[in-house]
Amino acid sequence: MAFETKKMKKFLASTAAAAMIATAIVPAASANTVSPAAFTDVPARYATSVDYLISNNLATGLTAKQFGINENIKRGDAAIILAQALGLMDEKAPAAGFTDVPKRGAVAINSLKAAGIIKGKTKTKFGFQDKITRGEVALILSNANAYNFKGDVKALKFTDVSSRYSEAVAGLLSHGITQGTSATKYGTDNSIKRGDFAIFTYRAEAFNLGGDVLKDFREAMSNFASIGASLGFKVVVDETAPNTFNIIGSDETVESDGGVGFFNKLAELGVPAIEVNGTEYEISDGEGNLTADAQTAKKAIIASLLGNNTVDVLFVVPYEETYAEAEYTFNLKTK
């Protein structure tokens, strides 16, 4: 991203996104941090999440050139990353009583257990070297003393989520941490890959660290419905998915609107760039003035809506000395 600053804090409020006009992981305790750009196994989907973990010294790669995107993460390594992300590294935390935890993981696991966030496989075994499942990660992230994610269990459509995991998974889903492995499967018993764990952690951090700015931006996005109405659209919040809007209109309406009102509003908010389906466009100078790239971004949004009835749009939002990232889904519902 072209708009990084010295704080290097990037946040992501995520879901899927689309619209037109209203448009170790190895624990970092070892300290030999590697530049994210050095990894050769990190595709675009994972780049922002891995960048966040590395830049904030929460993790390093398996090697200097491999982050290990497709490798399973172990319970011990996952615990160390989360303890560091949550700021729960208490040297004075009472011993957890696990005999299989090496020195490098003791402070993190003692701290998490003392906070009531994790449990062991048994009273004396944490399962430090065991793989961690997606279900276990959901329980940890949604824990009241971790990120405290809540959601509507009745809205779950996954067939592989038992009552033990339902509240936790609903919390992840409602906050856009995951959409599941398919439309009907969360993948509860699947071991989680290092790349996916990086995404989960990064998105969880978005709500923990960037909550205020993203909340404000969500409120601003909700107000864009009135802009849509003035331009001949009915823009409504999709209650079934977070950060998602439905545009009620027609192909002709989409093609005829210049999108100027929407991009002017973004420029006024100081938004310098957006990503449309993963491609970045610098739409303003950050001082309220649109650039020529705004028209190119508009065309990309329209093309995606007309071709797929949906488009992913990620907004780079000013936040103190850095930028937050907020991703939205706008779906075109043609008449």
Residues ≥6 apart with Cβ < 8 Å to 119: 113
Angle CA 219–222–223, to nearest 5: 95
At residue 203 the predicted structure's pLDDT band, cuts being 50, 70 and 90, is confident
Question: Residue 314, SS3?
Answer: strand
**R_g (Cα) of the chain, nearest Å:** 21
Band (2; pLDDT cuts 50, 70, 90): very low
* Predicted pLDDT at 9: 34
Side-chain-facing half-sphere of 328: CA atoms under 13 Å: 29
What is the DSSP annotation of 48-85? HHHHHHHHTTSEE-SSSS---TTSBPBHHHHHHHHHHH
Say whether pLDDT at 281 is over 60. yes
Q: Which residue type sits at 121? A: K
C-alpha pair distances (Å), 278 with each of 46, 89, 119, 148, 314: 12, 35, 38, 29, 8
Q: What is the pTM of this model?
A: 0.59
* pLDDT given for residue 264 in this prediction: 79
- The answer to whether residue 32 scores a pLDDT higher than 50 is no
Report pLDDT for 245. 72
Per-residue pLDDT tens over the stretch 65-102: 999 999 999 999 999 999 999 999 999 999 999 999 99
Tokens of 152: 């509507």
Q: How far apart are the first and last CA of the chain?
A: 37
Q: Which residues 6+ apart lie within 8 Å of 222 measured at CB?
A: 237
Is 283 within 8 Å of 266 (Cβ atoms)?
yes
pLDDT band at 31 (very low <50, low <70, confident <90, very high): very low
pLDDT digits (tens, 9 = 90+) for 42-59: 987 888 888 889 888 898
Span 181-195, average pLDDT: 94
Task: Report the candidate in 86, 139, 104, 94 with the shortest Cα–Cα distance to residue 24.
Answer: 104
User: What is the model's pLDDT at position 188?
Assistant: 96
Task: Look at residue 28 in the predicted model and tell me its pLDDT.
Answer: 33
Give me the pLDDT at residue 285, please.
84
Mean pLDDT of 3-20: 29
pLDDT tens digits, 204-248: 887 665 554 555 555 555 555 555 555 556 666 665 555 677 777
Mean pLDDT of the chain: 77
pLDDT of residue 298: 84
